[in-house]
């Protein structure tokens, strides 16, 4: 198995998902099992990226410049070789968790984006950022619900224990800048630098190409 070097055994879940697990007798701490939807979604990210010609791997481990570890759910490499981590987040996570994990990737030279469930994750993240940026609201009358450090993609899933035959469109940004698209378009755009932050919103557009 990755990192532990312990023998692996193939298994099949009750839903027919094939995977590897630590063989009996492992004395260390086993990782917390992922939900069915989490596993399926990260596999779909890798499959979609590979179908478009990108190099993509599951569960890639690394360390930042301070020695802190990170494990990317899916690590995809852009045409220029730049790595992009796609993190699947279907369970609630504190705002500080998003920021700390993003900082580890940044110190490693890895871009990061989050594919999260609309509920509860995206909804709670919106509330947390609005509360943190309450001074912005007092000064402008507008809620600041996003931040430059977190590139958010949201998808509406029924729950963590099921997965749809056809994945709903992925949502990027909100309000007048909202964009809904297939997962493959979101992956392709992320790798090509389409997410563009301009306070107070995320925008989706291709980078401008300079002409000499």
Contact 185, 191 (CB under 8 A): no
Residue 77, CB-side half-sphere exposure with 13 Å CA sphere? 7
Q: Which pTM was predicted?
A: 0.89
Sign of the Cα torsion 7, 8, 9, 14 reads: positive
Residues of the chain with pLDDT under 50: 211
Predicted confidence (pLDDT) per residue in 64-121, tens digit:
988 889 999 999 999 999 999 999 999 999 999 999 999 999 999 999 999 999 999 9
For residue 123, what are its two tokens? 């909804």
For residue 154, what are its two tokens? 């949201």
What is 35-204's CATH number, 3.40.1350.10, 3.40.190.10, 3.30.470.20, 3.40.50.1820? 3.40.1350.10
């Amino acid at each position: 198995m990755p990192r532990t070097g312990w023998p692996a055994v193939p298994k099949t879940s009750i839903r027919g998902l094939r995977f590897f697990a630590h063989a009996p007798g492992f004395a260390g701490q086993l990782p917390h099992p992922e939900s069915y939807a989490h596993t399926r979604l990260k596999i779909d990210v890798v499959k979609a990226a590979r179908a478009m010609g990108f190099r993509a791997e599951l569960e890639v481990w690394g360390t930042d410049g301070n020695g802190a570890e990170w494990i990317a759910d899916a690590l995809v490499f852009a045409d220029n070789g730049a790595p992009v981590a796609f993190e699947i987040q279907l369970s609630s996570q504190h705002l500080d968790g998003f920021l700390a994990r993003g900082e580890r990737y940044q110190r490693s030279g890895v871009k990061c984006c989050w594919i999260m469930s609309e509920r509860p994750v995206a909804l709670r993240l919106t509330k947390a950022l609005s509360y943190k940026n309450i001074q912005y609201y007092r000064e402008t009358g507008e809620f600041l619900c996003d931040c430059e450090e977190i590139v958010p993609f949201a998808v509406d899933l029924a729950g963590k224990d099921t997965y749809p035959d056809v994945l709903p469109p992925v949502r990027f940004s909100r309000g007048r800048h909202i964009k809904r698209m297939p997962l493959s378009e979101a992956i392709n755009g992320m790798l090509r630098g389409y997410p563009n932050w301009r306070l107070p919103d995320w925008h989706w557009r291709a980078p401008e190409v300079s002409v000499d």
